[in-house]
Amino acid sequence: MPQDTLVAAALEARQRAYAPYSKFLVGAAIETTSGKIFVGCNVENCSYGLTICAERTAATSAVAAGQRDFKRIALALSGAGTPCGACRQFLAEFNPQLPITIVDADDPTRIVETDLETLLPGRFEFKK
């Protein structure tokens, strides 16, 4: 699928973010190896710690649909930014090399490409 399709899905999902406290809107779109797209947005709560990030809403939506093979994620936010530490670990569960495309929602021509291996070296692994 074209890169633009995933970026457009992240930008659209961002418009549905529920962020009345921070006012910082984030959208995410995950492409699975089966070619499907699952979107997410941040959902805040008046009990602030219950807030969930866009990346994790997208990931949980994919997993709930039986899709665990993540090929790529696109993230839309205002300005420059990268996934938070919790989201990095959460996504690494499904693909520790996940390519990440980050688009500036204020200027969608500004796109940064990175990946989870770069952003999360030394991830936690459950080894018995």
Measured CA to CA, the distance from residue 27 to residue 105 in angstroms comes to 9
Show the beta-strand stretches assigned E in 6-110. 27-32, 37-41, 70-77, 99-104
Residue span binding ligand THU (CB under 6 A) among the ranges 7-15, 21-29, 90-98, 104-112: 21-29
Q: At what angle do helices 54-64 and 3-14 cross, to 10 degrees?
A: 110
In the bound state with ligand THU, the residue whose beta carbon lies nearer, of 9 and 128, is 9
Please report, as residue ranges, which positions from 88 to 127 form the binding site for ligand THU (by CB under 6 A): none
SS3 state at 113: strand
Residue span binding ligand THU (CB under 6 A) among the ranges 4-12, 18-26, 65-73, 101-109: 18-26
User: Binding to ligand THU by residue 84, rule CB under 6 A?
Assistant: yes
How many residues at the interface with ligand THU, by CB under 6 A?
Answer: 13
DSSP annotation of 18: B
Instruction: Answer yes or no: 125 catalytic.
Output: no
So which residues are the catalytic ones? 55
